[in-house]
Amino acid sequence: MKLLERQKYLQKLIHTINTSDIKVITGIRRSGKSKLMEIFIDYLKINISNANIIHINYNLFKFSTIKNAGALNEYVENLYSPEKENFLLIDEVQLCKDFEQAINSFHASEKYHIYITGSNAFLLSSDLATLFTGRTFSIEIFPFSFSEFIQYFNLQDLQKAFELYTLQGGMSGSYLYDESEEKYKYIAEVYNTLIIRDIQDKYNIKNLSILDKLNDFLLDNISTEVSANNISNTLTSNGSKVDDKTISSYIKYLCSSYLFYKIRRYDIKGKKYLQTQEKYYLADHAFKYAKLGTKNYDYGRIYENIVCIELLRRGYEVYTGFLYKKEIDFVAIKKDKKIYIQVSDDISRKETFEREVSPLLNIKDAYPKMIIARTKHPETQHEGVRILDLAEWLINDTED
């Protein structure tokens, strides 16, 4: 498989070299965590002359004899070199029994630069402080962005490339297959493996039927306001009796595995976060096609999903906006920066454009406002609101 050097993530790893943190690479299954580790190892070999690299990949059979904390500790200590910079990199660390005991010991010794990846259900951000006594630094990996998709395939026509990306998504393992059916089969297998292996195993879920139905509901309702209560009511009315507490728990599990992202509502006038009617977006939009098919193709929702994940990829806190009973698709916040965004498929019709721009014009503060749509034209402005082509915005990650 072609290996794309994902510079943004690589630079984050490089910048942590001189910190004492335990570096934890997280992200959805098959998003490239192990490949990033390999790229980082290549960097170390080239740029740090006295690096002693201890790399353990528990996916490989040759490490099957060191799958407990004691054996891991002995193996690593035997490879330690006091005259060198010791880098300890472990893939799929959760496959080692009591791994946290060994990792904490390595960290306490202050002899190693520690980098780990693992199954998301075992390395949840909420669990890291409990697992590890030392400070952790998390680097979240997303599926390929549109820019990475273009780079991977060396595509020249921006709009045709976007049409391909809209269909294929960013799960790069699927790029090895020529036929759409095989691509989606691969993506569906990733999806099912994530649910069964990670969520079911960790949380000991017995009723997989309810989890499957919840998955299908969320997949079919990306970018739509939902609540645990209305989901439970819908499933119950369709013959699958379930309470809202169970639904809340299952949604939490899906989000903690980086499959879905919960986006809360933000009251723009009151400048406060609202606790009801969240929206959920997929880590990669191709999961929807792989699980539900492409018959009910809704460009608007897919584009909204793509923009949401791109904003998260760029480091924004993302909310849906609420103002005078009107919705703003996204309020994106990073430090002292805030952007209001509407996403649309086609704004060529006057009534559609007015519907999208009206909520933005009602916002009276001075923060930037934009409509991102498939205009296929250079940027324009309307009463201070920027009108941007979606494909152009996606490749221009230096200017939001």
Task: Give dist(CA 366, CA 339) in Å, integer.
Answer: 10
Tokens of 310: 């791109």
Regarding whether 136 and 173 lie in a shared domain, the answer is no
71 vs 65: CA distance, rounded Å = 8
Residue 366 within any structural domain of the chain: yes
178 and 207 part of one domain:
yes
Q: Which of 303, 317, 282 is nearest to 345 (CA)?
A: 303
Query: What is the value of pTM for the model shown?
Result: 0.92
Residue 67 buriedness (CB in 10 A; 0-12 / 13-18 / 19+)? middle
Q: Give the count of beta carbons closer than 10 Å to the beta carbon of residue 8.
A: 14
- How far is residue 302's CA from residue 305's CA, in Å, rounded to a whole number? 5
Q: Are 323 and 271 in contact (CB under 8 A)?
A: no
Last residue of a domain, one of 117, 141, 165: 141
Domain CATH number, residue 21: 3.40.50.300
Residue 36 domain-assigned (yes or no): yes
Look at residue 68 and tell me if it is in a domain. yes
Let me know if residue 400 belongs to a domain. no
- Domain shared by 166 and 280, yes or no: yes
306 and 326 both lie in a single domain = yes
Q: What is the pLDDT along the chain (400 residues), one digit of tens a residue?
A: 677 889 999 999 999 998 999 999 988 888 889 999 999 999 999 999 999 999 999 989 999 999 999 999 999 999 999 999 999 999 989 889 999 999 999 999 999 999 999 876 666 655 676 788 778 888 999 999 999 999 999 999 999 999 999 999 999 999 999 999 999 999 999 988 877 777 888 888 888 899 999 999 999 999 998 989 999 999 999 999 999 999 999 999 999 888 999 998 877 665 655 566 789 999 999 999 999 887 667 889 999 999 999 999 999 999 988 776 678 899 999 988 999 999 999 999 999 999 999 999 988 889 999 999 999 999 999 999 999 999 999 999 765 5
Residues 124 and 151 in one domain: no
Indicate if 353 and 370 belong to the same structural domain: yes
Range of the domain at 49: 7-141
DSSP letter string over 85-133?
EEEEEEESGGGSBTHHHHHHHHHHHT-EEEEEE--GGGS-HHHHHHH-S
In this structure, the answer to whether residues 332 and 216 fall within a common structural domain is yes
Question: 147-183 burial, b if ≥16 CB within 10 A, otherwise e?
Answer: bbbbbeeeeeeeeebbeebbbbbbbbbbbeeeeeeeb
What is the bridge-based pairing of β-strands 112-117 and 326-334?
A: unpaired
Q: What are the tokens at 268?
A: 């723009």
Spell out where 118-267 has E strands.
136-141, 260-267
Q: Which of 368, 376, 318 is nearest to 347 (CA)?
A: 376
Neighbours of 328 (CB within 10 A): 21
Same domain, 209 and 298: yes
**Residue pair 362/328 in contact by the 8 Å Cβ criterion:** no
Burial class (CB in 10 A: 0-12, 13-18, 19+), 384: exposed
Residue 2 inside a domain? The answer is no
Count of CB atoms within 10 A of residue 107's CB?
20
- Both 226 and 183 in one domain: the answer is yes
Count of domains forming the chain: 2
Domain end position, chosen among 141, 171, 206 = 141
Q: Clarify whether residues 33 and 17 are in a common domain.
A: yes
Q: What is the DSSP letter of 241?
A: -
Q: Please report whether residue 122 resides in a domain.
A: yes
User: Is residue 203 located within the same domain as residue 258?
Assistant: yes
Determine contact, residues 276/253, Cβ cutoff 8 Å.
Answer: no
The residue out of 141, 167, 191 marking a domain boundary is: 141
Residues in the chain: 400
Which residues are registered as beta bridge partners of 380? 387
**Residue 340 exposure: Cα atoms within 13 Å on the Cβ side:** 25
Strand partners, 280: 262
Tell me: do 201 and 282 sit in the same domain: yes
Residue 179 in domain: yes
In sequence order, the β-bridge partners of residue 172 are: none
